[in-house]
Amino acid sequence: MQEITFAVEAALLTGGSLALLALASRVPAAADQAIAAPAEPIRAHRPPSPRMDLEGQTVVQLQQLARARGLSGVSRLRKAELIDQLLSA
């Protein structure tokens, strides 16, 4: 990368566009892509889904929520089953 910077500076100082053309032929295409491409893809912010909100809670919290919604028999359910019940209620 330092070689490229030095060559560009030298070409600019001497005013030679031919030097820039020579430099462009020596730069590998991968370097051009690395400079042009962003490091990480830009992702749109998505609000968390209701399932993700529930998965972040403990089984005890889910049981309390299920009881508050009037569901019975929640103490014997596993976390995934509790979430399914809450989402379908």
Domain coordinates in residue numbering, the chain: 2-36, 50-88
pLDDT in tens, 34-80: 566 666 777 777 777 888 889 999 999 999 999 999 999 999 999 99
* Per-residue confidence (pLDDT) for residue 43, from 0 to 100: 72
Instruction: Identify the pLDDT of residue 56.
Output: 92
The C-alpha R_g of the chain, in whole angstroms, comes to: 30
How far apart CA 69 and CA 79 sit, in angstroms, is: 16
Residue of higher predicted confidence among 24 and 70: 70
Task: Supply the pLDDT for residue 51.
Answer: 87
pLDDT for the residue numbered 15:
59
